[in-house]
């Protein structure tokens, strides 16, 4: 008979702890001969009690040991929200480990509406539509173009009316920058948008029959007879290359199949653009010098009443067929 130890030795409740279940069961077989005594029952109860207690202790120890993770070695690859090179020198609970793995911290999001380029002289009022996006933490601060907005903590949207600015005389282009900053107490994200102010370039045809359609190569002095007004420029329709104007900070452009249709071709651009007074004309693949500047630093007023200096060039002769012209 194999037992580990005895409890309450010499007492009325003396019980033995059996190591083997078969030995224990042998003590409490079917009681056909009235051979089972109280001590046999006590031994069975005591053995089971002790066994259950041992299982509880082992399970508790195992659970306690597995509730934490600790490893000072650095990770070799990024897994979920745990980047490569991470180490866990101090114990981390399983909750902490799974949170880091499955729910990495994400900074708040911020966005602000993009803005279309504007022509000098047009409205300076600008509407900035913005969004502050909550990610890991509640949003704690929102700043749009210097103005603070009260955060709700969650994702929210709004708008701010701002004012665009530029100097006079205006350069070929002016940039206005507008920013949004969104914070969550841990990080702040910033995004921005830019408004560009520009002038237009213009192209089309001009009828010079009133001065006899001169050949300006042979009679360059006739250029002084050409009368061009702001209305002339604003009325250009493109000579087959619509629409006849473009908002840009450069004079460079390719005109495919531009057609004078029996008139002179005209091109105008701001005096502030690079190379304004020294353009290169390429006609059907070859450089061409048969163009005359008829206005230099000429005061032009656009549709918004904004005035600035322009250069105006025309072909030296009438043009009767489509041409491919590159101005650079």
Question: Over the stretch 266-296, which tens digit does the pLDDT of each residue have?
Answer: 999 999 999 999 999 999 999 999 999 999 9
**Predicted confidence (pLDDT) at residue 1 exceeds the cutoff of 80:** no
Kindly indicate the confidence band of residue 14, based on its pLDDT and cuts at 50, 70 and 90: confident
Where is average pLDDT lowest: 45-54, 178-187, 296-305?
A: 45-54
Alpha-carbon span 288 to 325, nearest angstrom: 9
Alpha-carbon span 193 to 198, nearest angstrom: 16
Kindly indicate the confidence band of residue 19, based on its pLDDT and cuts at 50, 70 and 90: confident
Omega within 30 of 0 (cis) for the link into 169: yes
Closest C-alpha among 139, 78, 84 to residue 107? 139
Per residue in 87-140, pLDDT (tens digit) is 999 999 988 888 888 989 999 999 999 999 999 999 999 999 999 999 999 999
Mean pLDDT estimate for the chain:
92
pLDDT (average), residues 188-203: 98
Pairing status of strand 118-119 against strand 188-206? parallel
pLDDT (average), residues 23-40: 78
Q: What is the pLDDT of residue 63?
A: 57
Closest C-alpha among 135, 222, 141, 123 to residue 185? 141
The CATH number corresponding to 109-198 among 2.60.120, 3.90.1520, 1.10.287, 2.60.40 equals 2.60.40
More confident residue, 6 or 212: 212
Closest C-alpha among 227, 203, 234, 226 to residue 305? 234
Kindly indicate the confidence band of residue 64, based on its pLDDT and cuts at 50, 70 and 90: low
Q: What is the pLDDT of residue 57?
A: 62
pLDDT (average), residues 66-84: 88
Can you say whether residue 293 is alpha, beta or left, with left for phi > 0 and alpha for psi between -120 and 50 degrees? Answer: beta
Question: Where do the domains of the chain lie?
Answer: 3-66, 69-102, 109-198, 199-327
């Amino acid at each position: 008979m194999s037992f580990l130890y005895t409890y309450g030795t010499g007492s009325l409740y003396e019980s033995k702890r059996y190591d083997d279940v078969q030995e224990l069961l042998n003590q409490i077989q079917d009681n056909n001969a009235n051979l089972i005594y109280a001590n046999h029952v006590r031994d069975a109860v005591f053995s089971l009690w002790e066994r259950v207690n041992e299982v509880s202790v082992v399970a508790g120890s195992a659970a306690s040991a597995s509730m934490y993770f600790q490893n000072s070695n650095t990770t070799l690859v990024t897994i979920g929200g745990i980047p490569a090179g991470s180490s866990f020198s101090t114990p981390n609970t399983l909750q902490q480990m799974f949170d880091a793995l499955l729910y990495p911290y994400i900074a708040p999001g911020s966005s602000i509406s993009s803005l279309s380029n504007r022509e000098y002289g047009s409205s300076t009022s600008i509407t900035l539509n913005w969004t502050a996006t909550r990610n890991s933490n509640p949003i704690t601060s929102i700043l749009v173009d210097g103005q603070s907005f009260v955060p709700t903590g969650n994702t929210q949207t709004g708008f701010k009316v701002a004012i665009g600015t530029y100097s006079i005389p205006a350069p070929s282009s002016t940039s206005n920058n507008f920013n949004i900053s969104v914070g969550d107490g841990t990080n702040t994200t910033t995004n921005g948008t830019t408004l560009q102010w520009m002038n237009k370039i213009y192209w089309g045809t001009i009828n010079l029959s009133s001065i006899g359609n001169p050949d300006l190569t042979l009679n360059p002095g006739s250029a002084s007879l050409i009368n061009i007004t702001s209305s002339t420029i604003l009325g250009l329709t493109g000579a087959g290359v619509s629409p006849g104007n473009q908002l840009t900070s450069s004079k460079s452009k390719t005109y495919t199949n531009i057609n004078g249709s029996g008139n002179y071709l005209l091109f105008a651009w701001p005096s502030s653009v690079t190379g304004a007074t020294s353009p290169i004309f390429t006609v059907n693949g070859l450089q061409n010098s048969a163009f005359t500047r008829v206005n230099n630093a000429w005061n032009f007023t656009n549709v918004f009443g904004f005035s600035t200096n322009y250069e105006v060039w025309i072909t030296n002769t009438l043009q009767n067929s489509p041409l491919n012209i590159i101005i650079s």
